[in-house]
Amino acid sequence: MAWQLVFTEQYNRRAARFLRRHPDAISQYAKTLKLLEANPHHPSLRLHALKGKLSGLHSVSISLSYRITLELLLTESEIVPINVGDHDEVY
């Protein structure tokens, strides 16, 4: 199944701010996005559903410290990133 990443303006601003604060994560962030588009269920992404106030969203790992929260639109094969940051920031 082919997946398509759909970036909102709000997410792009959050991602730009995240990458300015964490330039060391740029290459891993890009790798995560490529892998997410190719296969969101790849084990290294550690895709999991969120609960509580973020119920309905999922999370993938960029690294041990950084996460991307996202919305999976399974009927349309779209992935909409919502937020990016460290663990406490996105949850």
pLDDT level of residue 72 (50, 70, 90 thresholds) = confident
**How far, in Å, CA of 25 to CA of 72, rounded?**
23
Give the global pTM. 0.89
Q: pLDDT per residue over 19-37, tens digit each?
A: 999 999 999 999 999 999 9
- Which range marks the domain in which residue 40 is found? 4-90
> Domain containing 10 — which CATH number?
3.30.2310.20
Beta strand segments in 1-91, E: 4-5, 48-49, 58-61, 66-73, 78-86
Q: pLDDT category, 45, cuts 50, 70, 90?
A: very high
Number of domains into which the chain is organized: 1
